[in-house]
Amino acid sequence: MDPSLVLACVAAFAVWLTPLVSHRRRTGLPDTDRIVWTIVLCTLNILGMILYWTIAPRGDHKVFSEEEHKAILNEK
């Protein structure tokens, strides 16, 4: 296989995976919205990614501080 083709496929996958991960990290979205956007992102690929970045409702992305992360790990 051509190495440039493999690199292009890996890059395309990473670009597609970014909105999916972003979507999964969102908090405050109803379950139906989560299900619909997951289906849209997985079935429509590039078009789904463009739709997600342009019309998806803005939500919070839960980012933990270092202290919160340590507290969560210590609870387990």
Q: Does pTM top 0.85 for this prediction?
A: no
20-48 burial, b at 16+ Cβ within 10 Å, e below that, comes to beebeebeebeeeeeeebeebbeeeeeeb
Task: Reply yes or no on whether the pLDDT at 56 is more than 80.
Answer: no
> Which pLDDT tens digit goes with each residue over 1-45?
788 999 999 998 888 888 888 887 777 778 888 888 889 888 988
